[in-house]
């Protein structure tokens, strides 16, 4: 049995689908029964679990050959870092008590840093805690997801301005499609390689690094509308994130993350593990996102 936490998300859904295509039994773990309907339709067993509850996690992993673990950053919480660490602690407690043969944790570029990288330090904590679990461990570190641009696409389409916290606008940075992360995760879980004494670190990004200027140009090509990238001044970040509905602590995590990005600290860890590259392009991801944006009209190009 392959147990996929966060199976309703973009990465988890891709992993579950790939494992089902390979003929494996999959237990898709979700928070709400409605999230499991489409997963049940492809033959997944559905389990409900709360990552804050070690007993709940233990029930979900019962009988698992392999577990894919995702601990999301809680968006609606006064202290999202503390909330995520509690989820990690509860999950690790359950995994220690009944360690499955294999555990793959979805992590981030920059997770080797313990301090100064905002949200990414939480994935450092995840990796550190999982090292105490007696399983064959894989840490799949992904670059920034291309789907993150969905958050600002409505404003870009309405006003013709694509806001960016990446500075400068012509700087290339690694990014990846969630579909590629999920499919690679499934492939790594299916890998028949023997257990490793140390965690296997795998990094994934797209085959081409991009800049905010390129994102804007791609949107122009897809929509036939003018779109200009704009670097949001550093002193406006907190206010902008607050208007987006983020609390002070969550905004601080994001500000610290992009400070680290712009300083060049968020990247592949040198000489560690292996590197993989996804095949999905930025253009493909944006083209798939646009039909779901209010008022978007994709040009026939």
pLDDT tens, 28-54?
Answer: 999 989 999 999 999 999 999 999 999
Please provide the distance, in angstroms rounded to a whole number, between the alpha carbons at the two ends of the chain.
44
Q: Which structural domains are found in the chain, ordered by start?
A: 2-145+175-205+266-279 (3.40.50.720)
pLDDT tens, 187-210?
Answer: 999 986 656 678 999 999 999 999
pLDDT tens, 53-97?
Answer: 999 999 999 999 999 999 988 877 789 999 999 999 999 999 999
Residue-wise burial string across 110-123, b where 16 or more C-beta atoms lie within 10 A, e elsewhere: bbbbeeebbbbbbb
* For residues 146-159, average pLDDT: 92
Are 170 and 53 within 8 A, CB to CB?
no
Q: What percent of the chain has pLDDT above 70?
A: 96
pTM over 0.85: yes
Q: Is 271 left (phi over 0), alpha (psi -120 to 50) or beta?
A: left
């Amino acid at each position: 049995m392959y147990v996929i936490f966060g199976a309703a998300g973009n990465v988890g859904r891709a992993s579950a689908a790939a494992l089902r295509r390979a003929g494996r039994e999959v237990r898709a773990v979700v928070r709400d029964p409605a999230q499991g309907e489409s997963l049940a339709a492809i033959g997944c067993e559905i389990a409900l679990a709360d990552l804050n509850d070690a007993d709940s996690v233990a029930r979900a992993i019962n009988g698992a050959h392999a577990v894919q673990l995702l601990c999301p950053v809680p968006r609606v919480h006064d202290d999202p870092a503390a909330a995520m660490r509690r989820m990690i602690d509860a999950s690790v407690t359950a995994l220690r008590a009944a360690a499955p043969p294999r555990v793959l944790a979805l992590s981030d570029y920059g997770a080797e840093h313990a301090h100064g990288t905002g949200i990414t330090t939480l994935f450092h904590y995840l990796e550190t805690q999982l090292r105490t679990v007696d399983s064959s461990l894989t840490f799949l570190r992904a670059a920034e997801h291309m789907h993150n641009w969905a958050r600002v696409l409505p404003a870009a389409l309405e006003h013709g301005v694509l806001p960016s916290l990446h500075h400068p606008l012509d700087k290339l940075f690694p990014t990846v499609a969630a579909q590629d992360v999920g499919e690679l995760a499934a492939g790594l879980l299916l890998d028949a390689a023997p257990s490793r004494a140390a965690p296997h670190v795998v990094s994934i990004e797209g085959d081409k690094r991009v800049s905010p200027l390129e994102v804007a140009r791609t949107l122009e090509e897809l929509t036939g509308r003018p779109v200009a990238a704009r670097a949001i001044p550093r002193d406006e970040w907190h206010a902008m994130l607050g208007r987006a509905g983020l609390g002070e602590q969550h905004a601080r995590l994001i500000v610290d993350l992009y400070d680290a990005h712009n300083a060049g600290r968020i990247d592949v860890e040198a000489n560690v593990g292996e590197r993989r590259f996804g095949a999905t392009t930025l253009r493909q991801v944006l083209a798939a996102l646009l039909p779901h944006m209010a008022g978007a009209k994709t040009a026939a190009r």
